[in-house]
């Protein structure tokens, strides 16, 4: 009988269904309002002779009720199965290690600048900034380094159009400040500087300096020495040896430099295999800063009376100072963004 095969076919089709989304097609095929195989039979009952009409009608209704029930059972089954797979997928394994979130930090050089600046701030120094693109006049001429002066050779730089240069040191900030402010002046100025330089373990072409300038009445060379000695004691500790020796810079008189003992060879000038220390080039010392008393010509260039005022200045290399304290063997590491190197400074 038709009804029997409809029920059988419908149940078989239903059996094949594995997703709720596929049930609709099967449902329509048998129970759809227009063309459903069972629906058509029910709709045409009226055309049957009364005896058969009753029999077929009863059976057709039973099949319909049974199929409806089977469909909703299957639907419920599929829905709970898909919910389970969904939950399974979303299951959280609380025993797994968490995802580590790496927070960015300031670059070690920036941190060193902050730390060094703090030491000077506690000694009463203000902080000033100057531009990285400087005029030839402020970078050289006003600092008593006229054109064709041999000192310009040591500061070979990147020249720009219109007598502008990438500053070779932070000393032009001295000029800018002294031109705009009257003494007393007591400030430091950290910043980036640029030199056309053959790089090696202690020389980079882009590095950082911190300039210091004090101008007042009766400022003496011993004030300079005391300030620098205090700085090195606080920053390096009392165990690190430093030395203060004469040097030449056209914008100071007298001029000096401060060296720090090479941490790699401990001043012995040799490495562990007895060869020349590659870091300090077998000198036992690393130059840390240049300094001196502000030259009277510089005072005249910026409009400060050298008879009334005196002052000292210094310019320290931030990378060299940090290298010494953190025992970094090559300045070029600071320019690479190798996270393994940077993480050591946390
Ligand atoms: C100067 O730049 C002077 N302006 C310093 C100064 C300021 C003297 C005020 C007197 C008064 P110098 O070229 O020596 O001097 O550089 C100063 C410091 O910068 C050095 O002692 C060193 O620590 C660092 N330095 C110099 N050249 C390099 C380089 N190529 N790479 C990394 N650090 C450097």
pLDDT at 1: 54
Q: What SS3 state is found at 346?
A: coil
The pair of structure tokens assigned to 244 is 């203060």
215 vs 335, higher pLDDT: 215
Cα(53)–Cα(41) distance, integer angstroms: 10
DSSP 178-238: HHH-PSPEEEEEEEEEE-----BTTB-SEEEEEEEEEEETT--HHHHHHHHHHHHHHHH-T
- Find the 259 Cα to ligand 1 centroid distance in Å: 11
Whether residue 134 contacts residue 166, with contact meaning beta carbons closer than 8 Å, is answered with yes
- Find the 207 Cα to ligand 1 centroid distance in Å: 10
pLDDT at 222: 97
Going by alpha carbons, the residue nearest to atom 32 of ligand 1 is: 203
- Ranges 72-86, 249-263, 270-284, most confident: 249-263
Cα(168)–Cα(177) distance, integer angstroms: 17
- Find the 316 Cα to ligand 1 centroid distance in Å: 6
To test ligand 1's pocket by mutation, which of 144, 151, 169 has the most ligand atoms within 8 angstroms of CB? 169
- Which band of pLDDT confidence, cut at 50, 70 and 90, is reported for residue 101? confident
pLDDT in tens, 108-140: 999 999 999 999 999 999 999 999 999 999 999
pLDDT at 323: 95
Going by alpha carbons, the residue nearest to atom 26 of ligand 1 is: 317
- Find the 83 Cα to ligand 1 centroid distance in Å: 70
The pair of structure tokens assigned to 69 is 């029930």
Percent of the chain with pLDDT over 90: 74
- Which band of pLDDT confidence, cut at 50, 70 and 90, is reported for residue 88? confident
pLDDT at 154: 66
pLDDT at 143: 96
Output the ligand 1 site: residues, CB below 6 A.
Answer: 169, 171, 195, 197, 203-204, 207, 209, 249, 252, 287-292, 313-317, 319-320, 331
92 vs 126, higher pLDDT: 126
- Find the 171 Cα to ligand 1 centroid distance in Å: 10
> Which residue is listed with tokens 């029999």?
55
pLDDT in tens, 16-53: 999 888 999 999 999 999 989 999 998 998 899 988 89
Query: Peptide bond before 124: cis, by omega within 30 degrees of 0?
Result: no
pLDDT in tens, 146-204: 888 777 776 678 888 888 999 999 999 999 999 999 999 999 999 999 998 889 999 99
Q: If you average pLDDT over residues 303-322, what whole number do you get?
A: 97
Going by alpha carbons, the residue nearest to atom 24 of ligand 1 is: 317
* Among 315, 174, 293, residue whose Cα is nearest residue 231: 315
pLDDT at 118: 98
To test ligand 1's pocket by mutation, which of 200, 213, 219, 249 has the most ligand atoms within 8 angstroms of CB? 249
The CA distances from residue 142 to 122, 168, 173, 221, in Å, are: 30, 14, 11, 22
- Find the 282 Cα to ligand 1 centroid distance in Å: 20
Output the 3-class SS for 96-113: CCCCCCCCCCCCHHHHHH
Percent of the chain with pLDDT over 70: 99
- Which band of pLDDT confidence, cut at 50, 70 and 90, is reported for residue 2? confident
Query: To the nearest whole number, what is the mean pLDDT of the chain?
Result: 93
Cα(260)–Cα(237) distance, integer angstroms: 12
pLDDT at 73: 93
pLDDT in tens, 269-299: 998 889 999 899 999 999 999 999 999 999 9
Q: If you average pLDDT over residues 293-306, what whole number do you get?
A: 97
- Its pTM stands at 0.74
pLDDT at 150: 75
- Which band of pLDDT confidence, cut at 50, 70 and 90, is reported for residue 98? confident
* Among 60, 76, 59, 81, residue whose Cα is nearest residue 23: 76
């Amino acid at each position: 009988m038709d009804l029997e095969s409809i029920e059988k076919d419908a149940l078989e089709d239903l059996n094949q269904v594995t997703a709720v989304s596929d049930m609709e097609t099967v449902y329509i095929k048998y129970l759809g309002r227009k063309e459903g195989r069972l629906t058509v039979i029910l709709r045409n009952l009226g055309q049957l002779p009364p005896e058969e009409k009753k029999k077929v009608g009863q059976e057709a209704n039973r099949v319909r009720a049974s199929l409806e029930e089977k469909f909703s059972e299957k639907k419920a089954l599929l829905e709970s199965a898909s919910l389970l797979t969904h939950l399974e997928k979303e299951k959280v394994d609380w025993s797994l290690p968490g995802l580590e979130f790496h927070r960015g930090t300031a670059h070690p050089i920036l941190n060193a600048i902050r730390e060094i600046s703090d030491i000077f701030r506690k000694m009463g120094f203000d902080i000033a900034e100057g531009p990285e693109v400087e005029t030839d006049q402020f970078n050289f001429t006003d600092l008593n380094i006229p054109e064709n002066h041999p000192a310009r050779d040591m500061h070979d730089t990147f020249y720009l159009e219109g007598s502008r240069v990438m500053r070779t040191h932070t000393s032009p900030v001295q000029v800018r400040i002294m031109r705009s402010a009257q003494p007393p002046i007591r400030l430091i100025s950290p910043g980036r500087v640029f030199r056309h330089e053959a790089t090696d373990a202690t020389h980079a072409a882009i590095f950082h300096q911190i300039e210091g300038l004090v101008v007042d009445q009766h400022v003496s060379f011993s004030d300079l020495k005391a300030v620098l000695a205090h700085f090195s004691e606080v920053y390096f500790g009392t165990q690190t040896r430093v030395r203060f020796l004469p040097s030449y810079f056209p914008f100071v008189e007298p001029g000096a430099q401060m060296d720090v003992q090479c941490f790699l060879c401990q001043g012995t000038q040799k490495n562990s295999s007895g060869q020349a220390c590659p870091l300090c080039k077998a000198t036992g010392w690393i130059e840390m800063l240049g300094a001196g008393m502000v030259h009277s010509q510089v005072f005249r260039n910026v409009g400060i009376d050298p008879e009334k005022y005196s002052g000292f200045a210094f310019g320290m290399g931030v990378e060299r100072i940090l290298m010494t304290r953190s025992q970094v063997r090559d300045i070029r590491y600071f320019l690479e963004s190798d996270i393994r190197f940077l993480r050591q400074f946390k």
